[in-house]
């Protein structure tokens, strides 16, 4: 019998032999006492070596200095490569704060306007993209109100309503012009439903393969001009008000030498904010015209059913899905929704009347290329505060786990806050008055569900934050602030505002945002914000403030 | 060309990126906490002075982070750390050539210790015999042994020392044979 050589035996014991050879050695060892004993001796020596290592560890001098804080060094390294523009870092901070995915970051408008100047140094395409993005955010922040547009073409001038049913004009020529324009816009992939908006411009621009941008600062407004190499629309120009980035004017030049200029017609402030009034009741200009084209125009109640159906499949929480009601129909549109998700949404809406579902995939909705992400999304200089927090939590590792969980919670909280606010915008008191009792119950139920879910996330955040912040000087207000009961729509708005504030403070605390708030007061401010949020939600849901009043502490935890 | 019009996509991307960075911090941070003392001691055995060894050990983990940040894939981070520590340690030694290498006088330390009743005198003598035997190994044998003790596999040791895995096997065999002889004396 050929015995196993000592090197082979060591490699066998170390698991370094190829499988076949190892099998042979194993079989041999089973058969051969001598080699097995040899292996045991080998293992003994290995054991001695391990003990020797431990002995050495005991007698070698310990490190002369404390170990560095490696997490701080990571951050310095993260901050070192070409710092991304301020705007980009700000967005990263907003993202870090857990803004709902599709919802806009509500960066304060004044800040936006001030910061736009930072972007001027960039290439026009970046300037245009950033400016449009900011304008879209700003538009999202405004409540969508119906408005009237003046549309001039080579031949004539017409007007039309946006975000409300279009009362058919008595002038057949105007109707024909509008129909022709709609066809032209559709052929050019330009959103006809909302032609004077940053979003529509952005969507068209994002779909272009080959384009050239120009951005000009005209003092009171910015002008973005994009020229396309291909497609029906040759050039589009959008002017944005420098103060609030509201679209002022748009000019589109088509390849067939047609051009269109769109401006908004100022609406008297007294105009009822009524998608409702126009759509559900008879349009004043031509009663019955809407009914002619659709057997029954979609009502506010139908819209509510659509929202409830979307809610059933969770599509009101972060999916890029929008619901609008116009021309007697309810349009459910989604951008960049995954195919499987589309099917679920379509299934959920299948039985509902007057619903048109439209999904699209603009190229710009794709995730950012990884290289770009890695360059930009890492925050810049962190305030020292989060380092103190990390220390408080017994190390960076714990801090980062906590941060990750808080980010998740905050994101979930904000998606509820956005959903609740959308409901409040869509169903103002005047709209509610048109709803049947059952619809009102459904509506209140949806709102309440969002508020309760928001409260759960906020409570979980508070449980994480209180023990971490109290030792850093954060004090929880002794009693919840008193919140005057409000109608549910303004209450929802206030809940949203407070949640945003909490989110922003949290971002500062986690070091994701450049700390606009002095670190010393931060823990208390954050806890006070959380308490206010809780008080608002409790009042909204009826846990507090409403009869029979509950003890303030009862709902606290 | 940047296609950053879609804020939704950007925010989702930024959240993902933030998480990825946090995960990386956590991953490297945890390894640092677990392995820094081992790396430090390994560098001492290479002859670095304690301050140099600590500095070098720290540098190694920062390099690991920088490498992972660049998106490079590292299959066994611990092995990577020891390989880089080994090479960096040798460079430091080379630079500080004039300075005498650090040596631990284990013998004196052990003798100065009051005999531990648990371990006993015999135990101490055995430890000393082993220590002398380790000291008497060739540099390559000793390095293979130390790296093996840190859990590196033959190819990883080979990659750190610039030799083949089978050469590692041979160095280890000889080292173990000599230590066994010392042990059974």
Mean pLDDT of chain A: 75
The C-alpha atoms of residue B171 and residue B177 are separated, in whole angstroms, by: 10
Given a cut of 50, whether residue A409 has pLDDT beyond it is yes
Residues of A in contact with B109 (CB under 8 A): 59
Q: Which span out of A349-363, A487-501, B9-23 was modeled with the highest average pLDDT?
A: A487-501
CB A423 within 8 A of CB A443: yes
* pLDDT level of residue A33 (50, 70, 90 thresholds): very high
CA–CA min distance B48, chain A (Å): 12
Q: What is the pLDDT of residue A496?
A: 92
- Judged by a CB distance cut-off of 8 A, whether residue B36 touches chain A is yes
Q: What is the pLDDT of residue B9?
A: 62
Q: For residue range B144-182, list pLDDT tens digits in order.
A: 999 999 999 999 999 999 999 999 999 999 999 999 888
Q: What is the pLDDT of residue A393?
A: 65
Contact flag B5-A133 (C-beta cutoff 8 Å)? yes
Higher-confidence position of A267 and A470: A470
Looking at residues A414-438, what average pLDDT do you find? 86
Contact flag B37-A57 (C-beta cutoff 8 Å)? yes
Q: What is the pLDDT of residue A392?
A: 66
Looking at residues A101-113, what average pLDDT do you find? 39
The C-alpha atoms of residue A336 and residue A352 are separated, in whole angstroms, by: 23
Q: Can you read off the two tokens belonging to residue B26?
A: 């956590």
**What are the beta bridge partners of residue A265?**
A148
CA–CA min distance A288, chain B (Å): 40
- Judged by a CB distance cut-off of 8 A, whether residue B27 touches chain A is no
Residues in CB range of B98: below 8 A, 6 or more apart: none
- Judged by a CB distance cut-off of 8 A, whether residue B136 touches chain A is no
Q: Is residue B50 packed enough to be buried (19+ CB in 10 Å), middle (13-18) or exposed (0-12)?
A: middle
Comparing alpha-carbon positions, the chain B residue that sits nearest to A134 is B7
Contact flag A16-B165 (C-beta cutoff 8 Å)? yes
The C-alpha atoms of residue A313 and residue A357 are separated, in whole angstroms, by: 15
Higher-confidence position of A103 and A192: A192
The C-alpha atoms of residue A129 and residue B30 are separated, in whole angstroms, by: 40
Higher-confidence position of A411 and A472: A411
* pLDDT level of residue A280 (50, 70, 90 thresholds): very low
CA–CA min distance A375, chain B (Å): 10
The C-alpha atoms of residue A387 and residue A484 are separated, in whole angstroms, by: 38
Mean pLDDT of chain B: 85
Task: Out of B1, B40, B183, name the one closest to residue A45 (CB).
Answer: B183
Q: What is the pLDDT of residue B2?
A: 39
- How many CB atoms are closer than 10 A to CB A131? 25
CB A229 within 8 A of CB A209: yes
Q: What is the pLDDT of residue B81?
A: 95
Looking at residues A161-173, what average pLDDT do you find? 70
Residues of B in contact with A64 (CB under 8 A): 50-51, 54
Q: For residue range A293-311, list pLDDT tens digits in order.
A: 445 677 888 888 888 888 8
CB B53 within 8 A of CB B103: no
Contact flag A125-B1 (C-beta cutoff 8 Å)? yes
The C-alpha atoms of residue A390 and residue A388 are separated, in whole angstroms, by: 5
CB A245 within 8 A of CB A198: yes
Given a cut of 90, whether residue B37 has pLDDT beyond it is yes
Q: What is the pLDDT of residue A297?
A: 76
The C-alpha atoms of residue A468 and residue B46 are separated, in whole angstroms, by: 43
Q: What is the pLDDT of residue A167?
A: 63
Given a cut of 70, whether residue A547 has pLDDT beyond it is no
Given a cut of 90, whether residue A285 has pLDDT beyond it is no
Residue A85 Rama label (left phi>0; alpha psi -120 to 50; beta): beta
- How many CB atoms are closer than 10 A to CB A137? 22
CA–CA min distance B84, chain A (Å): 18
Q: What are phi and psi of B141, to 5 degrees?
A: -60, -45
Q: Alpha carbon B180 to chain centroid distance?
A: 24
Comparing alpha-carbon positions, the chain A residue that sits nearest to B37 is A63
Residues in CB range of A472: below 8 A, 6 or more apart: A388, A389, A392, A523
Residues of B in contact with A368 (CB under 8 A): 3-4, 9-10, 13
Higher-confidence position of B112 and B72: B72
- Judged by a CB distance cut-off of 8 A, whether residue A186 touches chain B is no
Q: For residue range A185-216, list pLDDT tens digits in order.
A: 998 889 988 899 998 999 899 888 888 888 88
Residues in CB range of B185: below 8 A, 6 or more apart: B129
* pLDDT level of residue B10 (50, 70, 90 thresholds): low
User: Would strands A329-335 and A355-360 be described as parallel, antiparallel, or unpaired?
Assistant: parallel
Q: What is the pLDDT of residue A83?
A: 42
* Sheet containing strand A221-228, strands side by side: A157-162, A147-153, A259-265, A247-254, A233-241, A221-228, A211-217
Least confident of A12-26, A233-247, A402-416, B167-181: A402-416
Q: What is the pLDDT of residue B115?
A: 60
CA–CA min distance B15, chain A (Å): 6
Task: Out of B15, B25, B45, name the one closest to residue A71 (CB).
Answer: B25
**What are the beta bridge partners of residue A158?**
A151
* pLDDT level of residue A357 (50, 70, 90 thresholds): confident
- Judged by a CB distance cut-off of 8 A, whether residue B67 touches chain A is no
Q: Is residue A232 packed enough to be buried (19+ CB in 10 Å), middle (13-18) or exposed (0-12)?
A: middle
Q: What is the pLDDT of residue A163?
A: 72
* pLDDT level of residue A9 (50, 70, 90 thresholds): very high
């Amino acid at each position: 019998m050929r015995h196993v050589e000592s090197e082979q035996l060591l490699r066998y014991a170390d698991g370094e032999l190829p499988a076949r050879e190892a099998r042979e050695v194993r079989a041999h060892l089973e058969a051969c006492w001598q080699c097995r004993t040899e292996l045991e001796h080998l293992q003994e020596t290995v054991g001695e070596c391990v003990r020797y290592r431990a002995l050495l560890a005991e007698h070698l001098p310990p490190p002369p200095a404390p170990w560095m804080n490696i997490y701080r060094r990571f951050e310095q390294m993260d901050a070192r490569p070409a710092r991304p523009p301020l705007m980009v870092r700000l967005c990263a901070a907003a993202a870090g704060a857990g803004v709902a995915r599709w919802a806009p970051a509500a960066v304060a408008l004044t800040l936006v306007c001030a910061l736009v100047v930072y972007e001027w140094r960039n290439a026009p395409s970046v300037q245009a993209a950033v400016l449009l993005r900011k304008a879209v955010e700003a538009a999202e922040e405004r409540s969508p109100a119906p408005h009237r547009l003046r549309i001039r073409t080579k031949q004539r001038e017409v007007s039309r309503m946006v975000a409300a049913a279009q009362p058919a004009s008595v002038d057949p020529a105007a109707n024909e012009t509008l129909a022709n324009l709609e066809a032209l816009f559709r052929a050019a992939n330009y959103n006809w439903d909302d032609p004077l908006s940053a979003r529509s411009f952005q969507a068209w621009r994002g779909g272009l393969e080959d384009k050239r941008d120009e951005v000009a600062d005209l003092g009171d407004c910015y002008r973005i001009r994009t020229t396309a190499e291909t497609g029906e629309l040759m050039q589009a120009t959008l002017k944005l008000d420098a103060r609030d980035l509201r679209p002022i004017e748009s000019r589109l030049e088509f390849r067939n030498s047609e051009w269109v200029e769109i401006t908004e017609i100022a609406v008297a402030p007294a105009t009822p904010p009524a998608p409702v009034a126009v759509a559900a009741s008879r349009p004043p200009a031509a009663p019955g015209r809407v009914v002619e084209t659709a057997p029954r125009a979609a009502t506010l109640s139908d819209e509510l059913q659509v929202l409830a159906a979307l809610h059933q499949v969770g599509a009101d929480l972060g999916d890029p899905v929008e619901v609008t009601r116009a021309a007697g129909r309810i349009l459910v549109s989604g951008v960049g929704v995954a195919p499987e998700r589309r099917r679920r949404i379509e299934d959920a809406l299948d039985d509902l009347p007057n619903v048109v579902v439209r999904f699209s995939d603009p190229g710009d909705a794709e995730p950012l290329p990884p290289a770009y992400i890695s360059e930009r999304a890492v925050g810049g200089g962190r305030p020292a505060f989060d380092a103190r927090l990390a220390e408080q939590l017994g190390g960076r590792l714990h801090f980062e786990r906590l941060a990750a969980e808080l980010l998740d919670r905050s994101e979930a909280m904000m998606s509820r806050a956005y959903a609740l606010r959308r409901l409040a915008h869509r169903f103002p008191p005047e709209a509610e008055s048109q709803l049947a009792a059952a619809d009102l119950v459904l509506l209140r139920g949806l709102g309440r569900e969002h508020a309760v879910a928001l409260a759960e996330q906020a409570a979980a955040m508070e449980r994480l934050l209180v023990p971490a912040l109290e030792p850093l000087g954060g004090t929880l207000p002794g009693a919840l602030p008193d919140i005057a009961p409000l109608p549910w729509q303004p209450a929802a708005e206030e809940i949203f505002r407070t949640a945003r504030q909490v989110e922003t403070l949290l971002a500062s605390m986690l070091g994701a945002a450049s700390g606009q708030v002095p670190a010393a007061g931060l823990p208390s401010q954050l806890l006070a914000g959380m308490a206010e949020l809780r008080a608002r939600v409790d009042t909204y849901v009826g846990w507090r403030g409403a009869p029979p009043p509950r003890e303030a502490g009862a709902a606290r935890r | 060309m940047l296609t950053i019009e879609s804020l939704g996509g950007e925010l989702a991307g930024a959240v993902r990126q933030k998480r990825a960075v946090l995960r990386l911090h956590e991953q490297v941070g945890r390894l640092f906490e677990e392995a820094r003392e081992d790396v430090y001691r390994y560098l001492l055995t290479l002859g670095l002075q304690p301050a140099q060894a600590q500095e070098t050990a720290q540098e190694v983990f920062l390099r690991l982070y920088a490498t992972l940040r660049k998106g490079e894939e590292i299959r066994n981070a611990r092995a990577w750390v020891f390989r880089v520590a080994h090479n960096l340690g040798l460079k430091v030694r080379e630079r500080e050539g004039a300075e005498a290498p650090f040596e631990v006088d284990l013998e004196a330390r052990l003798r100065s210790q009051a005999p531990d009743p648990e371990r006993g005198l015999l135990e101490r003598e055995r430890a000393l015999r082993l220590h002398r035997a380790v000291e008497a190994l060739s540099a390559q044998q000793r390095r293979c042994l130390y790296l093996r003790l840190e859990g590196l596999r033959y190819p990883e040791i080979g990659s750190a020392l610039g030799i083949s895995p089978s050469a590692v096997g041979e160095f280890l065999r000889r080292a173990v044979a000599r230590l066994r002889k010392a042990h059974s004396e």
